[in-house]
Amino acid sequence: MAEEPDTPVSSRTERKALEKAKILQRESDRKIFRLVGRVLKKPEAERSEEEAGVLLLHRDTVEELNKRQVRRNVLKRKQEEVFDDAEELKSKVRQLAVAVKQANHLVIYTGAGISTAASIPDYRGPNGVWTQLQKGRSVSSSDLSKAVPTFTHMCIRTLHKEKLVKHVVSQNCDGLHLRSGLPRHALSELHGNMFIEVCTSCSPVREYVRLFDVTERTSLHRHTTGRRCSHCGGELRDTIVHFGERGTLEQPLNWKGAAEAAKMADVIVCLGSSLKVLKKYACLWCMNRPASKRPKLYIVNLQWTPKDDLALLKINGKCDDVMSLLMQELNIQIPAYNRADDPIFCLASPLGPEEVKSHTREVLAPPTGQEDGSAEPEKQTEVTSVQGGWFGRGYGKGMKKKKKAA
């Protein structure tokens, strides 16, 4: 009988040879891509006969590189900020004013763009957090705790008071809607509030509003703040929903209120949001209905959004500028933010004596005549870097996952 061949050794050798061939092929493809790429960068008139021959020989590579360049150009255009001229802006705002007056159930969705006037950077603008991190730059700005509600925040609060706005759905964690005086039942802070920490051991969940940013020690998947519940002794956690997480808290997220408002809405106005995150929340867009029965969509943003094609009107302007013109059209006076009327000072829970030094964040100074036992206010400085906590967290981990997938 003939001897049986050494199958395991043979198959292993074949696998190694196959892997080696794949590696060599990938390296060859890379060299071709680099060569063709260099040739394409040259003007056609300056290419040699040899270089022209390379392009003819590798037509598939030329086609692929041209497609990639088209995609890069499209992405670049989407990231550019576009401004309507003065007359076009006024015309569009007049249309928006008519929609606001005629709406039976108007809901507003807000993003980081409404807080840029408070020196809080947005995420995807030219100087946004994601944009800067993508370029490998550090993120710095004025201290978030120093920010106060902008003109747009005060407009939204007044529109609700005048019963023209029924509900506000916000992606922002800065707490400025709450501080503007907007009632909590009319607000859904889908990504949390930097001034609120909660005890999930208590039933129902117990909430503590503070006069400082509670996220100093927290980050992606690490939400404990280092303080404990004064009732049960359980660990307190922040309310922030980081990039890549799913929020489960009833408040301040208020998903129930957001979903109900979207279901009843006949008009939705999006202010200062790229909508790249909000578009993923199906319950906010009523996409299960025929197009004619969905809420009319109005978008105010300087950059492209994935909902532009569905919008009845896209306004390319800064939120404060648009809202100023809108209030003129509606003939509504907007009060300036008044620290004495800021509800956070009434809602805030004082820290216990042993907790006064549990953080190093700046404390909101109460209005003159009010006292707060949470901590002694520190001296304010003009500019400080944005460090720790919720701002920009989760981006790095998301990028690592993308690179691994690639």
Residue 218 backbone dihedrals phi, psi, to 5 degrees: -100, 160
Q: Please give the full DSSP string across 225-243, using - where no structure is assigned.
A: EEEE-TTT-PEEEE----T
Beta strands in 190-316 (DSSP E): 196-199, 206-209, 224-228, 235-238, 267-271, 296-300, 313-315
202 is in an annotated binding site: yes
Beta-carbon contacts of residue 254 (< 8 Å; ≥ 6 apart): 184, 187, 188, 189
CA distances from 217 to 11, 258, 351 (A): 54, 29, 17
Beta-carbon contacts of residue 239 (< 8 Å; ≥ 6 apart): 189, 192, 193, 196, 197, 198, 249, 251, 252, 253
User: Is 191 a known active-site residue?
Assistant: yes
Measured at the alpha carbon of residue 251, what is the angle toward residues 246 and 252, in degrees to the nearest 5? 85
283 is in an annotated binding site: no
**CB distance 275 to 307 below 8 Å:** yes
Please give the Cα distance from 303 to 309 (Å, whole number): 13
3-state secondary structure 118-169: HCCCCCCCCCCHHHHHHCCCCCEECCHHHCCCCHHHHHHHHHHHCCCCCEEE
199 is in an annotated binding site: yes
Cβ atoms within 10 Å, residue 378: 13
Q: Please give the full DSSP string across 328-369, using - where no structure is assigned.
A: HHHT---PPP-GGG-THHHHBPPPPGGGTTS--SPPPPPPTT
The single residue of 58, 153, 191, 359 carrying the catalytic annotation is: 191
Find how far residue 209's CA is from the centre of its chain. Answer: 23
Q: Which residues are catalytic?
A: 191
Q: Residues at the annotated binding site for Zn(2+)?
A: 199, 202, 229, 232
Provide the annotated binding site. 199, 202, 229, 232
